[in-house]
Amino acid sequence: MEKDFWLSRWKENNIPFHESETNPLLFKYFKELSLAKDSRIFIPLCGKTLDIAWLLSNGYRVAGAELVEMAIQQLFQELGVEPKISKIGKLILYSAPGIDIFVGDIFDLSKEVLGPVDAVYDRAALVALPQETRVRYSTHLTQITNNAPQLLITFEYDQTKMVGPPFSISTEEVNLHYKNVFTLENLLSQEMVGGLKGHSAKENVWKLS
């Protein structure tokens, strides 16, 4: 993972991927996972997404992984919560009631350290990683979450016209990563209003169960 790239983006506050409101696709499709309240949701490469506050306010517990510590400091500030901070191997754990965020390289996060999760919400991880990293990531993710069901959001566009991230992920690639473990259901495939960085793009929502 290109740590310096992401560190510089956060230091410069060049974070257009950070949405100023809860992702509407989370509102609409999270119920498809049919989770009980108090279920623990893992968000890989979570940043300081407002989706975390929505999940917490709706009675779910959240675990996350994030490379940039500044993002998690800002997350807890915006949540108005004082975290307990501890070191676990190569990772730093920010925790409070109902929330555990592991700061560091997600590939250093093990199943044992993460603990049980009931589902994965991947809005910003698979699409943030270069192609050569995505196979390793998807394998690692299913291992550490014990094949927990996923709500996955991806983009599709002409990669020759725009440099990621976010990267274009085709239906074929989603199948490549996950069809051996999950039943895949495409819940939504729609053109993005205004496109992506000025280019035509589709947004896809996948349920992996």
| Cα angle 9-15-17, degrees, rounded to a multiple of 5 | 130
So what's the pLDDT on residue 2? 66
* CATH hierarchy code of domain 3-14+23-208: 3.40.50.150
Scanning the structure block, which residue is given the tokens 């976010």? 166
So what's the pLDDT on residue 116? 98
So what's the pLDDT on residue 79? 96
Task: Count the Cβ atoms, other than its own, within 10 Å of residue 4.
Answer: 8
Q: Give phi and psi for 48, each to the nearest 5.
A: -115, 35
List C-alpha distances in Å: 20 to 5, 39, 48, 152, 173: 22, 25, 10, 20, 29
| Tens-place pLDDT, residues 35-50 | 999 999 999 999 999 9
So what's the pLDDT on residue 15? 47
So what's the pLDDT on residue 14? 52
Return d(Cα 63, Cα 52) in angstroms, integer: 9
Each residue's pLDDT expressed in tens, for the chain with a length of 209 residues: 466 665 666 566 654 554 568 899 999 999 999 999 999 999 999 999 999 999 999 999 999 999 999 999 999 999 999 999 999 999 999 999 999 999 999 999 999 999 999 999 999 999 999 999 999 999 999 999 999 999 999 999 999 998 888 999 999 999 999 999 999 999 999 999 888 888 999 999 999 99
Scanning the structure block, which residue is given the tokens 């991880």? 125
Cβ–Cβ under 8 Å, residues 206 and 150 = yes
